[in-house]
Amino acid sequence: MTIAEILSQELGQKLEYVENVLALLDEGNTIPFIARYRKEMHGAMDDTVLRQLETRLTYLRSLQERRDEVKRSIENQGKLTEELSAAIDAAATLTEVEDLYRPYKQKRRTRGSVAREKGLEPLAQAIFAQDGSDPTVLAADYVDAEKGVNTVEEALQGASDIIAEDLSDDADIRKNLRELTMRRGVFTCKAVEDAEENGVYRLYYDFSQNIQRLLDHQILAMNRGEKEGILKPNISLPGNDGAALVCRAALKPTMFVSQFVRSAAVDAYERLIFPAIQREIRTALSDRAYAGAISNFALNLKPLLMQPPVKGFVTMGLDPGYRNGCKVAVVDATGKVLDTAVVYPTFGESQKRQAITKLSQLMTKHKVSHIAIGNGTASRETEAMTVEMLHSFPQASYMIVNEAGASVYSASPLAAEEFPEFDVNLRSAVSIARRLQDPLAELVKIDPKAIGVGQYQHDCPQKELDAALGAVVEDCVNAVGVDANTASRSLLQQVAGLNSTTAKNIVAFREENGPFTSRSQLKKVPKLGPKAFQQCAGFLRIPESKELLDNTGVHPESYAGAKALLELLGLKKGADLAGLSARLESYGIEKAAGELGIGSPTLVDIARELSKPGRDPRDELPAPILRKDVLEMKDLVNGMILTGTVRNVIDFGVFVDIGVHQDGLVHISEVCKRKLRHPSEVVKVGDVVKVMVLSVDEKRHRISLSMKQVTE
């Protein structure tokens, strides 16, 4: 099968659509552009499916390259047969290709290669023929002191080493043993002798689980414990099945069974094959777990970035702290810094009163509507002070904001460039305020790994993690759209078709020439060529343009079609377009598409964009919870029902912020009534959910919650 046929089968998509996507990718088109503006060519696949296709395409092309390399290498040795070539072409994974290549690969010096150098390969072949000849008699002819074979025993040992190595290189044996181990193998783990009795890895001090039932988070935990020198994981195959499998492949089914060959087969299994299989399976399990962790991180990151913004309000950001005080920044509705301060609410009652007085003055002076409080050190005390202060400002409210990565941003060159006049601490307060106003615009300035909505992300392969998270950020930014006249360089460089250079040039161009007044003006930006313009134009908004379409997601290539649609439906310039989508449906989407020569998916998108210019898809999501009061763990009672925000979704459950400074855990068994493979099947980061308190352990700072018992 061709690569396109394999992808079509794996993804359940039409071959024609897959071939079109491959052509679009090879032409240098970006995933957001393909997903949004080439729907007719791929049957309206979403960006997630397109990303899967792109990732799998990269693997399959690498696999084909490796197949070709292996065949060339074997052909250069004069050993490539039609049968072997066909087997390599049929190999579905890199592991299978390497198994087939193993007998022909140049090896380091081994016991088998040393025996071959001594001229013992014919002896090994004669013994392996298993025709009833006595190995001892055969070996007598190979005793040769000049070649380093001094005795019959040395000759037999060399022959055994060669047979064992040949069996180890057999692709079918390795494949069958790998499958057997994956099916029946057991993953065990023990603690090192001096491991702390109640250490963080105590669950794995005496652990045993069938490989098929092993969970990703268990693999990741044991990997980390091994890396820290606390755990010793291992893979075993109970009974004698592994050795028996190798013996069956080695021994001829005759009345005479060669005990010599059996012994060599057992040696091959114990010394060469199974240790390699153990390493391969450990690697495969780790790769699976890392891929799952990366996928889970990406799954959590998307809703976090797409949290609804709290737009149009003056906001105060509070970055709590003990020794260095609470850093304060007030920003206007556009995120511009209006004022900064430092207060010390944790330094005693007198200092707390002074803090409330100072913050109240800022609230009054700048007409602050919302307060964003970072959830780090001293957050609890800062929240209590805020609630007390808000008694005098009943119109205002506050929200605890996840400050993960704020310190990373505030110490970065980007923050120094953006706020050269502020110290590191005040920059983080600005970031916290802006996270409430527009989470996406602020979080794109931070390395996604620092946001912390995954598990074991720092253990994952960083290249793959960066690629996956970068794709999520790109998809989110392009789904929302970007104001070309106000967006930061960080936000602009996430737009399809743009990079750090062109983003910087856009900012420089508008600073020098004033705000953009049309999309076509973007073509004048240095280094933003025709291809880049094609990719980015539909995602950049120009609210100041006289052309309505410049502030929508309609691509410039569809402007003529959009105007023709309005004319077809009898809508003149300046008419109310709010009901355009309904009007199109009434007229008939397919009928209009045929008359205008525009694909139906594109026509529907045009109508939706025109009906609400400048729309933000995040506005359609549930609004974040803004609070006016405060709860503490001691206030919680079993059976209490609360509303909270999902902060993290991992393999074994969901962490929910219920406003008590300690996220509660909804175990996967308490998420819903049906059995789940993963909590992400029913809940995502940012969801507002109702939960019941099951138990509270103040000493260990643990809160157990249930979602399913609320519905009951």
CATH of the domain at 31: 1.10.10.650
The verdict on residue 505 lying in a domain is no
Closest CA to 621 of 304, 297, 298, 296: 304
Q: Are residues 65 and 146 in the same domain?
A: no
The verdict on residue 457 lying in a domain is no
Residue where one domain finishes, among candidates 405, 437, 469: 437
Between the CA of residue 588 and those of 36, 137, 573, what are the distances in Å?
Answer: 22, 91, 22
Tokens of 23: 């052509």
pLDDT tens per residue across span 661-702: 788 999 999 999 999 989 999 999 888 899 999 999 988 889
pLDDT at 628 over 80: no
pLDDT value at residue 255: 63
pLDDT at 304 over 90: no
Using 50, 70 and 90 to split pLDDT, how confident is the model at 579?
confident
Reduced to 3 states, what is the DSSP secondary structure of residue 226?
A: helix
CATH code assigned at 405 = 3.30.420.140
Residue where one domain finishes, among candidates 104, 123, 142: 104
Range of the domain at 391: 315-437
Q: Are residues 117 and 266 in the same domain?
A: yes
Name residue 690's beta-bridge partners. 643
Using 50, 70 and 90 to split pLDDT, how confident is the model at 40?
very high
Residue 252 in contact with residue 323, Cβ under 8 Å? no
pLDDT tens per residue across span 506-535: 999 999 999 999 999 999 999 999 999 999
Using 50, 70 and 90 to split pLDDT, how confident is the model at 1?
confident
pLDDT value at residue 630: 66
Residue 217 in contact with residue 651, Cβ under 8 Å? yes
Rg (CA), the chain: 33
pLDDT tens per residue across span 115-145: 999 999 999 999 999 988 999 999 999 999 9
Q: Are residues 345 and 291 in the same domain?
A: no
The string of DSSP codes covering 97-138 is HHHHHGGGS-----HHHHHHHTT-HHHHHHHHT-SS--HHHH
Using 50, 70 and 90 to split pLDDT, how confident is the model at 418?
confident
The verdict on residue 459 lying in a domain is no
Domain count across the chain? 4
CATH code assigned at 662 = 2.40.50.140
| Residue 632 one-letter amino acid | E
The verdict on residue 200 lying in a domain is yes
pLDDT at 452 over 70: no
Mean pLDDT of 370-396: 90
The verdict on residue 568 lying in a domain is no
Chain centre distance of CA 34? 21
Measured CA to CA, the distance from residue 652 to residue 666 in angstroms comes to 9
Measured CA to CA, the distance from residue 294 to residue 461 in angstroms comes to 9
Mean pLDDT estimate for the chain: 92
The string of DSSP codes covering 423-469 is -HHHHHHHHHHHHHH-HHHHHTTS-GGGG--SSSGGGS-HHHHHHHH
Tokens of 267: 């040696």
Residue where one domain finishes, among candidates 403, 437, 471: 437
Contacts of 550 (CB under 8 A, 6+ apart): 518, 519, 541, 542
pLDDT at 454 over 70: no
Q: Which of 74-78, 256-260, 320-324, 501-505 has the lowest mean pLDDT?
A: 256-260
| Residue 389 one-letter amino acid | M
DSSP state of 311: -
pLDDT tens per residue across span 464-493: 999 999 999 999 999 999 999 999 999 999
The verdict on residue 290 lying in a domain is yes
Q: Are residues 130 and 93 in the same domain?
A: no
Measured CA to CA, the distance from residue 673 to residue 546 in angstroms comes to 54
pLDDT tens per residue across span 270-284: 999 999 999 999 999
DSSP state of 390: H
CATH code assigned at 254 = 1.10.3500.10
Q: Are residues 129 and 232 in the same domain?
A: yes
Using 50, 70 and 90 to split pLDDT, how confident is the model at 222?
very high
More confident residue, 375 or 521: 521
Residue 280 in contact with residue 419, Cβ under 8 Å? no
The verdict on residue 263 lying in a domain is yes
Measured CA to CA, the distance from residue 599 to residue 48 in angstroms comes to 22
Contacts of 319 (CB under 8 A, 6+ apart): 326, 327, 328, 329, 374, 376, 403, 406, 425, 428, 429, 432
- pTM here? 0.82
Residue 400 in contact with residue 625, Cβ under 8 Å? no
Q: Are residues 122 and 240 in the same domain?
A: yes
Closest CA to 602 of 47, 170, 2, 40: 40
pLDDT tens per residue across span 539-571: 999 999 999 999 999 999 999 999 999 999 988
pLDDT at 621 over 80: no
The verdict on residue 405 lying in a domain is yes
Q: Are residues 344 and 415 in the same domain?
A: yes
Mean pLDDT of 434-441: 92
Q: Which of 292-301, 329-338, 433-442, 452-461 has the lowest mean pLDDT?
A: 452-461
Mean pLDDT of 60-85: 96
Measured CA to CA, the distance from residue 438 to residue 443 in angstroms comes to 9
